[in-house]
Amino acid sequence: MKGASGRIRIIGGQLRNSRLDVPDLPGLRPTPERVRETLFNWLAPVMSGARCLDLCAGTGALGIEALSRGAAGVQFVERDARAAQALRDNLARLKAEGGQVAAVDAQVYLQGTAQPFGLVFLDPPFALDLWTPLAQRLEQGGWLAPSAWIYVESPRQVAPALPASWLPHREGTAGDVRYALYRRVS
């Protein structure tokens, strides 16, 4: 891929060991393999047939990993046109069905007509501090199924203010990253 800075690997499911091209873009920070492996071990009982939203998708590694492991579909939302195109290219090359890419800002996307998702990946660019506003829009805008799972990735020292209905399920740290899985209670 022209302008690619590297490749990352899908670690499980039908696309296991497939590589994703990663464009060289400022602030693009793919979720590390070890973190993805842990997260998808946690999510294994709920992956089959899940409808997912990969908000601030970046490389799309989380959503593509979900498709690889049996998710029914993933809506990818990525504001950077180059990252969105790289994501489309990776989905096409891997013949990963069920993925749709919206090249739009996450906050703008969440102003649209809501469709509830059972699993949401919330991993915005760390420098933009969008966890709380995006979480509020997800919760108040009808984007979450009643018992949705929400994955949140943030800097290790940051504890985002999240809706009270998001109960912590599991969490961990890896390097400078804090990752947590929440379960929504309605």
Q: Tokens representing 126?
A: 């760390």
Residue 125 has pLDDT above 70, yes or no: yes
User: Model confidence over 136-159: pLDDT tens digits?
Assistant: 999 999 999 999 999 999 999 988
Considering the segment(s) 4-184 as one domain, its CATH architecture is 3-Layer(aba) Sandwich (3.40)
Neighbouring residues of 74: CB distance < 8 A, sequence distance ≥ 6: 52, 53, 54, 63, 64, 66, 67, 98, 99, 100
46 secondary structure, DSSP code: G
Model pLDDT, residue 5: 55
Neighbouring residues of 106: CB distance < 8 A, sequence distance ≥ 6: 55, 56, 77, 79, 124, 130, 134
Q: Distances from the Cα of 141 to the Cαs of 73, 116, 184, in angstroms?
A: 20, 9, 14
- Angstrom distance (rounded) from CA 76 to CA 66: 11
CA neighbor of 107 nearest in space, from 143, 82, 67, 146:
143
Q: Are 29 and 95 in contact (CB under 8 A)?
A: no
Which range has the worst mean pLDDT, 5-9, 74-78, 111-115, 161-165? Answer: 5-9
Residue 1 has pLDDT above 50, yes or no: no
In degrees, to the nearest 5, what angle opens at C-alpha 63 toward C-alphas 5 and 123?
Answer: 75
Model pLDDT, residue 24: 80
| Helix 81-94 with 61-68: angle, nearest 10 deg | 20
Residue 27 has pLDDT above 80, yes or no: no
Q: Tokens representing 40?
A: 């998808």
CA neighbor of 23 nearest in space, from 70, 59, 61:
59
Residue 26 has pLDDT above 90, yes or no: no
Residue 132 has pLDDT above 90, yes or no: yes
Mean pLDDT of 106-135: 94
